[in-house]
Amino acid sequence: MSRSDPPLWRFHGGLKLSGHKSESTGLPVTEPPLPQRLILPLQQHIGRPAEPCVSVGTRVLKGQLLAAADGYISASLHAPTSGLVESIEMRPIPHPSGLSAPSVVLRSDGEDQWIDGLTDQDSAPLDAIALRHRVRAAGIVGLGGAAFPAAVKLNPGPQRILEQLILNGAECEPYISCDDMLMRERAADILSGAGLLCRALGVARCLIGIEDNKPEALAALEAALAASPNPGVEVRRVPTIYPTGGEKQLIRVLTGKEVPAHGIPAEIGIVCHNVGTALAVHEAMTLGRPLISRYITVTGQGVATPRNLEVRFGTPVSELVAACGGYTERADRLIIGGPMMGFALATDEVPVVKGSNCILVASNQELPQPGPVMPCIRCGACTEVCPAGLLPQQLYWYARARDFDKVQDYSVFDCIECGCCATVCPSRIPLVQYYRYAKTAIWAQEREKEKADLARQRHQFRLERQDREKNERAARMSKKRAALEVSDTGSDSKKAAIEAALARARAKKAGVRSDASSTAAPESARIPETADDRARTEKP
């Protein structure tokens, strides 16, 4: 490398972990056999679930829209192969809850036939808005794991002035190597995607951060950059410290800037995307292809041949494992994601989705069952390693006591759940579990509060409406009385009674139409009519 090493910064805390990357980087990326059935959850992203636009029995082609983004923060979903929409039903999804969610079940026809019109496209004339729309139409979400709709991140709002794009190729979590393989194999396309992202954001500068435990990826990107030089783009080798791949941490390392607490990077002029997202943008712009597959690492001692696969969304985890030689007898736990931030799957029948980056079939030796939890000895090790600069011990005490006000005072929502604190805790306290519990409990409380506020409004409005109806009834009655009194002036009481009956009938007819206008009735005439109503309503 010819350029002198640029300055790098450090973030607070973090851990040096053994990488376990080489296990899965020995073989080139391959595609597993085309699955018979793909299960495509309508919500594979942060935001509202996509709205299906196909019905059961529809024959679809590869790349065809299955479900459209519903609202701004949402993402479209496309068919990963051609076939028949077999059902749209609840299916188990990869989620820590183990819950099912509405999914399109697509039966493959084996033809794998692309939809027409997706030939090479010229992205050169597209402006920022058109690029953003294409990213949205292609259903692209952040492929680093959070699966936030990418088009939203490309629209920082008119008042924010952006300076640079940061491409995240850090891939800091042990065992995961899909971004590594992607950078090795698709470096030129990633750079093309980076250029398109810069154009969409209106920035000229792009830093690509890669941890120094991935020399092949670094070399591949350097070479690709040398082949098509771009003065705005720089590849930066960053030290391997978990969790450098966290958005705020990588920004700190590369620029020395701190993203404000509770804030987003755009507030300091930066937008951060994963290298996989850049590749997806390249494919969408230059080939017109929507996001239908991704690289996924299948690794751990529990799988025969750990490697990376290019997998269509909706493929069951079992088929990924089968494509890697199946389970070994050491297979103990099935984790989706990495050992630090992933979660256990109850079944391998769940499909992989846009946010899935790794299937870890861990042996008991790799991920031993945690030992007994001991009391907190207030050693402060958790505080030393927290990359978000929080006070994990305080958070733990308050989450444990369910003191949600205090948990928020201590910024629980800035916790990125990286697991550093729990890893170093000598008492093996499941700290992250406490923070996760507190976060979802706070959300639940907020929902309860909103629901209670709505119920209060509905109830009040109902009481007012009943009041109004009562008054209107009273007004109608008093009108009748008034009519009666007028006719009462006659001397003959019999005649008067007949007249009164006629008047009542007339008033009843008229009253139906013009009830609201008769509020000027004499007070005295209303009393007897409302007494009954009043007795009814005054009952406590």
- Verify binding: residue 364, other proteins, rule CB under 8 A: no
- Verify binding: residue 539, other proteins, rule CB under 8 A: yes
Angle between helices 178-201 and 275-286 (to 10 degrees): 60
Exactly one of 427, 471, 487, 530 binds other proteins (CB under 8 A); which one?
A: 427
Please list the residues that pair with 40 across neighbouring strands.
104
The smaller minimum CB distance to other proteins, of residues 46 and 497, is found at: 46
The smaller minimum CB distance to other proteins, of residues 34 and 101, is found at: 101
Edge-first strand order for the sheet with 59-60 is: 37-41, 100-108, 83-92, 59-60
- Verify binding: residue 3, other proteins, rule CB under 8 A: no
Binding-site size for other proteins (CB under 8 A) equals 48
Exactly one of 1, 374, 379, 531 binds other proteins (CB under 8 A); which one?
A: 374
Exactly one of 373, 486, 501, 502 binds other proteins (CB under 8 A); which one?
A: 373
- Verify binding: residue 434, other proteins, rule CB under 8 A: yes
DSSP secondary-structure letter at 159?
A: T
Side-chain half-sphere CA neighbours of 483 within 13 A: 22
Of 439-458, binders to other proteins (CB under 8 A) are 439-441, 443-444, 447-448, 451-456, 458
Exactly one of 15, 101, 126, 188 binds other proteins (CB under 8 A); which one?
A: 101
Write the interaction track for other proteins spanning residues 41-80; mark x where CB under 8 A is met and - where it is not.
--x-------------------------------------
d(CA 466, CA 192): 65
- Shortest distance in whole angstroms from residue 373 CB to other proteins: 4
**Any idea how long the chain is?**
540
Of 462-501, binders to other proteins (CB under 8 A) are 462, 464-466, 469-470, 473
- For residue 229, cis peptide bond before it (omega within 30 degrees of 0): no
- Shortest distance in whole angstroms from residue 536 CB to other proteins: 7
Stretch that binds other proteins, among 216-224, 275-283, 292-300, 425-433 (CB under 8 A): 425-433
Write phi, then psi, for 532 (nearest 5 degrees).
-65, -45
d(CA 61, CA 65): 9
Edge-first strand order for the sheet with 205-211 is: 233-238, 205-211, 164-169, 270-274
Please list the residues that pair with 359 across neighbouring strands.
298, 336
d(CA 42, CA 437): 25
The smaller minimum CB distance to other proteins, of residues 269 and 430, is found at: 430
Contact 338, 360 (CB under 8 A): yes
- Verify binding: residue 437, other proteins, rule CB under 8 A: yes
- Verify binding: residue 158, other proteins, rule CB under 8 A: no
Edge-first strand order for the sheet with 65-68 is: 51-52, 65-68, 77-78
Q: Under the rule (CB under 8 A), what is the footprint of other proteins?
A: 43, 93, 95-97, 99, 101, 372-376, 427, 429-430, 433-434, 436-437, 439-441, 443-444, 447-448, 451-456, 458-462, 464-466, 469-470, 473, 533, 536-537, 539-540
